[in-house]
Amino acid sequence: MILLSLPSRTDRDLYPALMSPELFAKYPAGNRAFVRIDTSLRVYWHTLFDVCPELLELSGPDGMSIFRPFMNWAGEKKLAFDWFYYLWVYVWLRQSPFKEQVLADQKYLKSLMGACAARWAILDRGRDCGIGIGCADTTDIVVGWKCHDVRLGREIELIEPEEPLPSPPEVFGYFTLPSFELDIFPGWQGVTR
């Protein structure tokens, strides 16, 4: 019986290169490690730009002028890419070279907030039925509802409150809803890393 040699690297060893363009660039394009890193990065790229294609208007068709610096920043901040992923992108955009364009047109903010609410509605396994997401840059709220009928999908709504809610204490805040009614405002919870 011939035993194959163990791989020289494990995927865990390649993790830092996911978040750092400089480390990723050290792997030649044909290298196995390059392929594994590139495949992993594509998931995050598509998660962002397939759901929020208007971001490509800012960055160009490959999205790399947003994607690579954001991934580097997220790695430095040690951010989790759970349902907050889209909110972190906006936080980065506010301090990026795209800041003026992003702050001048709320379509980017609303798209990212909607994507975040939809991701929560898919991923959350708790008893809450909905989520409200607010941002210090707008008085509007995006509400995401879990699917509550087999014939319907999840629903995402943009709500313009008659009376503005208090601004979240940070850039973003959220609150969950125990029923399929937007009849309470329990206060903002902060976005966690």
Distance CA 59, CA 48 (A): 13
Q: What is the pLDDT of residue 5?
A: 46
- Indicate whether 172 belongs to any domain: no
Instruction: Report which of residues 40 and 117 the model is more confident about.
Output: 117
What is the value of pTM for the model shown? 0.85
Q: What is the pLDDT of residue 53?
A: 97
- Indicate whether 142 belongs to any domain: no
pLDDT tens digits along 164-187: 899 999 999 999 999 999 999 999
Q: Annotate 85-139 with DSSP letters as a single string.
A: HHHHHHHHHTTSTTHHHHHH-THHHHHHHHHHHHHHHHH--SS--EEEEEETT-S
- Indicate whether 21 belongs to any domain: yes
Q: Three-state SS for 159? A: strand
Domain that holds residue 77: 12-101
Pairing label, strands 155-159, 172-177:
unpaired
- Indicate whether 191 belongs to any domain: no
- Indicate whether 46 belongs to any domain: yes
- Indicate whether 95 belongs to any domain: yes
136-143 average pLDDT score = 96
148-157 average pLDDT score = 81
Q: What is the pLDDT of residue 40?
A: 74
pLDDT tens digits along 99-124: 999 999 999 999 999 999 999 999 99
**How many domains, in total, are found in the chain?**
1
- Indicate whether 136 belongs to any domain: no
- Indicate whether 131 belongs to any domain: no
